[in-house]
Amino acid sequence: MARSVRRASWTLLLLLLAVCAFPASSALSASSRVGTDTAELAVGTLSWTPSAGNVSYGTTFAFHETDGDAKGLSNLGLLGNLTVTGPAGWNKGATATIQCEQGDGVAPTFCEQWLDTAPVAGAYTIANATGQTWTATIDLTPATIPTITSVKTSPDGQTVQVTWKGAPTDGSYWLEFMQYRSNNWVDLVDGTLPASEGTSAVFDHMGLTTGNYSVVVVSRPFDMTKDGPLPASLAYGWAVHDFPFTLKKQLQFMDPVVHGSATASGKTLTIGDLSITGIPPNSAVSLICLSGCTAKVAGTGLGKFDFRVLRNAKVKDRAVAVIRVAKAGYAGFYDRIVFHISASGLIHETRSCMRPGKTTPVACASIK
- 322 and 349 co-located in one domain: yes
Q: CA 22 from chain center: how many Å?
A: 25
Backbone angles phi, psi at 173, to 5 degrees: -125, 140
Do 239 and 306 have their domain in common? no
Confidence (pLDDT) at 77: 93
Alpha helices, DSSP H, located in 6-68: none
Domain identity same for 235 and 303? no
Q: Are residues 38 and 143 in the same domain?
A: yes
Q: By residue range, what is the domain housing residue 352?
A: 252-366
- Same domain? For 230 and 283 the reply is no
Q: What are the residues whose beta carbons fall under 8 Å from the beta carbon of 277, sequence distance 6 or more? A: 256, 257, 259, 303, 304
Do 61 and 203 fall into the same domain? yes
- What's the confidence (pLDDT) of residue 68? 80
- Give the separation between CA 327 and CA 221, rounded to whole angstroms: 56
Beta strands at 345-354 and 330-342: parallel, antiparallel or unpaired: antiparallel
Query: Of 245, 280, 308, which residue sits at a domain end?
Result: 245
Confidence (pLDDT) at 34: 66
Q: Which of 87, 86, 85, 84 is nearest to 99 (CA)?
A: 84
Q: So what's the pLDDT on residue 107?
A: 93
Q: Please report, for the domain that includes residue 204, its CATH number.
A: 2.60.40.10
Residue 256 and residue 236 in one domain? no
Environment class of residue 296 by beta-carbon count within 10 Å: exposed (0-12), middle (13-18) or buried (19+)?
A: exposed
Q: What is the dihedral of CA 91, 61, 4, 147, to 10 degrees?
A: 60
Are the C-beta atoms of residues 28 and 230 closer than 8 Å to each other?
A: no
Q: With beta carbons less than 8 A apart as the criterion, state whether 80 and 272 touch.
A: no
Q: Do 226 and 267 share a structural domain?
A: no
Q: Which of 67, 20, 66, 75 is nearest to 41 (CA)?
A: 66
Claim: this prediction has a pTM higher than 0.75? no
Q: Helix (H, G, I), strand (E, B), or coil: what is residue 16?
A: coil
Q: Indicate whether 233 and 291 sit together in one domain.
A: no
Question: Is-contact 316 268, C-beta < 8 A?
Answer: yes
Last residue of a domain, one of 215, 245, 275: 245
Say yes or no: 28 and 108 in one domain. yes
Last residue within a domain, chosen from 207, 230, 245: 245
Check residue 33 and give its pLDDT.
Answer: 64
How far apart CA 283 and CA 303 sit, in angstroms, is 8
Which H or E run includes 243? Answer: strand 235-245
Q: How far apart are CA 229 and CA 227, in angstroms?
A: 7
Are residues 121 and 156 both part of a single domain?
yes
Tens of pLDDT along the chain (368 residues) come to: 233 333 233 333 333 333 333 333 334 444 456 667 889 999 999 898 876 677 888 998 999 998 888 888 999 999 999 999 999 999 999 999 999 998 889 999 999 998 989 999 999 999 999 999 999 999 898 888 899 999 999 888 889 999 999 877 778 999 999 998 888 889 898 889 999 898 999 999 998 888 999 999 998 888 999 998 887 777 888 899 998 888 777 788 999 999 999 999 999 999 999 999 999 999 999 999 999 999 999 999 889 999 999 999 999 999 999 999 999 989 999 999 999 999 888 999 999 999 999 999 999 999 87
- In angstroms, the CA 56 to CA 62 distance is 20
Specify the number of domains making up the chain.
2
User: Do 327 and 214 fall into the same domain?
Assistant: no
